[in-house]
């Protein structure tokens, strides 16, 4: 599983999670103190190890950071 944050230009600015996880609910804290206000995107990517192609789930959502 990978959880990454991108700026509006598509540059990766943070990797919050990049490891295998067991099924369940998780919580991740994002310290955005060094980033300016604006629009960012976060993407969660989960690969399915049972397929040889590694297909799985990918979702990207918008996040607005206000100071």
Q: What is the mean pLDDT of residues 4-28?
A: 95
**What are the CA-CA distances from residue 54 to residues 26, 39, 60 (Å)?**
22, 30, 18
- Find where tokens 């979702």 sit: 59
Query: Is the pLDDT at 5 greater than 90, yes or no?
Result: yes
User: How many helices (H) and strands (E) are present in the chain, helices listed first?
Assistant: 0, 4
Dist CA 33 CA 23 (whole Å): 30
pLDDT digits (tens, 9 = 90+) for 30-63: 999 999 999 999 999 998 777 766 678 999 999 9
User: How many domains does one find in the chain?
Assistant: 1
Query: Is the pLDDT at 26 greater than 80, yes or no?
Result: yes
pLDDT value for 12: 98
**Which domain, by its residues, includes 58?**
2-65
pTM of the model: 0.84
């Amino acid at each position: 599983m990978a959880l990454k944050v991108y700026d509006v230009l598509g540059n990766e600015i943070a990797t919050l999670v990049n490891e295998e996880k067991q099924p369940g609910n998780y919580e991740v804290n994002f310290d955005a103190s060094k980033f300016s206000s604006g629009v960012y995107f976060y993407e969660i990517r989960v690969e399915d190890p049972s397929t040889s192609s590694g297909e799985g789930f990918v979702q990207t959502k918008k996040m607005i950071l206000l100071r």
